[in-house]
Amino acid sequence: MAICKQVGRGDLTMEEFKEWLMQFDADHDGRINREELRRAIRCAGRRFSSWKCGRAIREADADGNGFIDEVEIANLMGVAQSILGFKVV
């Protein structure tokens, strides 16, 4: 289980965002699934349904495998910025 590192609402670099998100990779497979994303969002102090997490995964998942890998993390920027209040620079 990931330790919930608190991240501010200020600017994050892409590397900081990746590091923060990957702490929720519970099975250590290098990918983020729906439940792992939901835990990350809850850690950031937001409520987000499993359905909405699934939708975010589908939107960011370029290869359609149901997971977000390191290459696809950049596709989650919309979620990070609009829902979580992060600004990734």
CA distance 50 to 48: 7
What mean pLDDT do residues 7-35 have?
Answer: 85
Give the gyration radius of the chain's Cα atoms: 12
Nearest-angstrom CA–CA distance, 30 and 12: 21
Contact 50, 43 (CB under 8 A): no
Q: How much is the pLDDT for 9?
A: 54
Q: Tens of pLDDT along 45-89?
A: 777 777 778 888 888 899 999 999 988 988 888 777 776 667 777
> What are the two backbone dihedrals, phi and then psi, of residue 65, each rounded to the nearest 5 degrees?
-90, 0
User: Which one is the CATH code of 11-88: 1.10.1040.10, 3.10.20.340, 3.40.190.10, 1.10.238.10?
Assistant: 1.10.238.10
For the chain, domain boundaries: 11-88
Packing angle of the helix pair 50-60, 34-43 (nearest 10 deg): 110
Look up residue 84 and give its two tokens.
């979580």
